[in-house]
Structure 1
Amino acid sequence: MDVPADGDRPTDLPYPDVDELEAAAARVLPEHVVGYFRGPTGAYGIPTEAERWSQLRFRPHVLRDTSRLSLATTVLGTPVASPVLVAPMAQQRAAHPEGEVATARAVRRRGVLLGVSTNTGVRFADIGAVGAPWWFQVYVMDDRAMTADLVQRAAAEGATALVLTVDTPGVDPRRPQLEPRSWPERYGMQANLPGGDTGRPIFSGTRNLSVDDIGWLHDLTGLPVVVKGVLRADDAVRCVDTGAAGVIVSTHGGRCLTQSIVSADALPEVAAAVGDRAEVYVDSGLRTPEHVAAALCLGARAVFLGRPVMWALATGGDAGVEELLGSIDTQLERVLRSLGAGSLDELGPDLVV
């Protein structure tokens, strides 16, 4: 795989266009890898996640002092320089040989936070050694002992929260060619299992999840649990009532149930139902600073960026990811000032229709 060396990218590029990044990644990655990363993105005849975010319109204030605007915030008490975080994504070593280690270096330099997938091909110890704050995304597998071992290993190596993913009770059988276990190369998906990569699937869907698993994961590690894949207000309230420290409004990037409500439409009701009892985040389809601004206005404390980071990783390594995140932050400040927001606290649903 021809991946540019870190630091080889020119420094005078304009704000990265995600479509151009995706096209560039498709030129350097194997076709089956690009197909896996793209995955399903929406049902026929309805807007994709990104299109729906772009349909939202702002109602900006004017004549507001924005001179002291800062993007700095906290997520579960961890200070971050921006509300734009990096989503957990499997198979990052298919995009870049160092996988999450390279992504973590960019995250550390940007002062934000990294989500790490259950299906990472990088050892937790190597990610932790970089020094970026990170949360571990958890699939509760039918093998509960394996799940417990993985989350305890993640906690021991520095994960500061667990992200319980709840929207994958089954894997779509219509796209078996996209499953990494059928690829000609595997990129070490099971680097953190006892004995290393065993060749068996680490996850194939869990049908017996319940809200009790929130407390089970917390008791295993003492870490706060964030529930990922929530699209309804009543489910969000049940999660918080059972001890969740936060919820992530997510459609898994449109990869699971393609005719579900999109994140942009689910976020307002979830945020209103949760209120200040827990933190609300969102992912799926966010590609521009305007998308991020809209999400913050609709109640998200922070957003998780997914595929754009993967394209940047594939085309530029950690330097590419750092450039992408830095450019989004720069443009996000411009957008927020254009909305008349002098701080993140001044963002609200009245600014979006």
Structure 2
Amino acid sequence: MTRSGVAPESLAAVRRLAESLLPGDVWDFIEGGADGETALAANRAALDRVRLLPRVLAGLSEVTTAGTLLGSAAGMPVAVAPMAYQRLAHPDGESAVARAARDAGVPFVAAMLASATIEEMAELGGAPWLQLYWLRDRGLLAELVARAERAGYRGLFVTVDVPVLGNRLRDVRNRFTLPADVGPVNLSGGPVAAHDRVDGDSAVAVHTSAMFAPDAGWQDLAWLRERTALPLAVKGVLDPRDARHAVDRGADAVVVSNHGGRQFDGAAASVDALPAVVEAVGDRAEVLLDGGVRSGTDVLRALALGASGALLGRPVLWGLATGGESGVARVLEIVRAELARGLTLAGCADPAAAAALDVLGVGHAR
């Protein structure tokens, strides 16, 4: 149930309600992309071009959305994407999202730039994954890995497409800053605060530039692989050559992503890059899709193109804004119901069967 007392019937309805409830600068922080936001728009347009050829007379008496994702049982092939500062959308923030994901049986990827501690999110999220960025302070990065291991995290998501923060013009125009009660609590002691207004810039961008390492290379992924036995997912890959490099250096999963259109505005849409990455990786690692996913049908599209699942990002924050934990639960239930209906209409008994569907509208599709 949402703050309005009405359960939205679609993610589009959740989005409209969230926009009406959130302050304008917070809405822009959540929804905005880089520069002209062409990559942001491309994600949605590319997914809409993917058309499936459903099978008929499949003789299905029962359909399930359950399966495995990221090495564990999942209620559906969807994981909650890592997203920073979730308390901007609701006071319960990451705690509400972690609980809703746990109850829905989907993996929760805890953001490094969370407004809750690594330990709090692990306790509530049922052993989630932890996202990492490349920090200038490798000692702090190693400390985060050790904390994740002690807290029982299932694995690490390494985001590799942020050598510098994308030029997010909405945040620049708003001179966006974090409120005093929201901040990167797992990165205490940084050289710049994200709460101090910066003329002509976003305080979040200035903080990120001070903390993140722009010169990370493949040797750093090898360094991380040597430091931990936890499974590694490399997020932010579009070129199949990079996907092969990641797997060669120990990645257990590759996430095809243009960072939701928030980084390089000239980047390809994630789903357009997906088939070539799937082909390059083969059966050596899982491949997930991130970027523009707005329905269970989009998840089905990803599965048909060879992905093992998809990440759900902004819609989770919409749900959080509209009703806290119950709002996120509603978003996940909408996606699960749409996926179940889509599998039935496409003649697929389960998510694994979707890989046999023929696809039109994207490069390398069958």
Q: Is the 8 A contact 1:89 1:117 kept in 2?
A: yes
**Which residue of structure 1 lines up, in the alignment, with residue 151 of structure 2?**
157
Q: Is the 8 A contact 1:298 1:349 kept in 2?
A: no
Identity %: 37
Quote how far apart the aligned CAs of 1:65 are: 2.6
Aligned length: 346
Amino acid at match of 1:39: G
Quote how far apart the aligned CAs of 1:78 are: 1.4
Amino acid at match of 1:157: A
Q: Which whole-Å deviations, capped at 9, do the CAs of 1:40-90 have from their partners, x for residues lacking one?
A: 176449952112211211111111133232221222321111112110000
**Which residue of structure 2 lines up, in the alignment, with residue 119 of structure 1?**
113
Q: Which whole-Å deviations, capped at 9, do the CAs of 1:306-331 have from their partners, x for residues lacking one?
A: 00110110011110111110121111
**Which residue of structure 1 lines up, in the alignment, with residue 278 of structure 2?**
271
TM-score by length of structure 1 reads 0.90
CA distance in 2, matches of 1:303, 1:279: 11
Amino acid at match of 2:146: Q
Quote how far apart the aligned CAs of 1:345 are: 2.2
Cα RMSD for the two superposed structures: 2.5
1:213 aligns with 2:196: no
TM-score by length of structure 2 reads 0.87
Quote how far apart the aligned CAs of 1:292 are: 1.1
Moved more, 319-328 or 33-42: 33-42
Specify whether residues 80 and 179 from structure 1 end up closer, same or farther in structure 2 by C-alpha distance, changes over 3 A only. farther
Specify whether residues 149 and 255 from structure 1 end up closer, same or farther in structure 2 by C-alpha distance, changes over 3 A only. same
Q: Is the 8 A contact 1:92 1:120 kept in 2?
A: yes
Amino acid at match of 2:151: E
Q: Which whole-Å deviations, capped at 9, do the CAs of 1:119-139 have from their partners, x for residues lacking one?
A: 101011211221423111110
3-state SS of the aligned residue for 2:55?
A: coil
Moved more, 251-260 or 210-219: 210-219
**Which residue of structure 2 lines up, in the alignment, with residue 72 of structure 1?**
66
3-state SS of the aligned residue for 1:113?
A: coil
Quote how far apart the aligned CAs of 1:334 are: 0.7
Equivalent of 2:309 in 295, 298, 302: 302
**Which residue of structure 2 lines up, in the alignment, with residue 145 of structure 1?**
139
1:243-282 pair list within 5 angstroms:
243-282=250-289
Q: Is the 8 A contact 2:289 2:309 kept in 1?
A: yes
Q: Is the 8 A contact 1:190 1:196 kept in 2?
A: no
**Which residue of structure 2 lines up, in the alignment, with residue 3 of structure 1?**
none
3-state SS of the aligned residue for 2:287?
A: strand
CA distance in 1, matches of 2:229, 2:329: 31
Consecutive unaligned residues in structure 2, runs of 5 or more: 195-205, 361-366
Moved more, 264-273 or 213-222: 213-222
CA distance in 2, matches of 1:95, 1:249: 26
Q: Is the 8 A contact 2:33 2:40 kept in 1?
A: no
**Which residue of structure 1 lines up, in the alignment, with residue 198 of structure 2?**
none
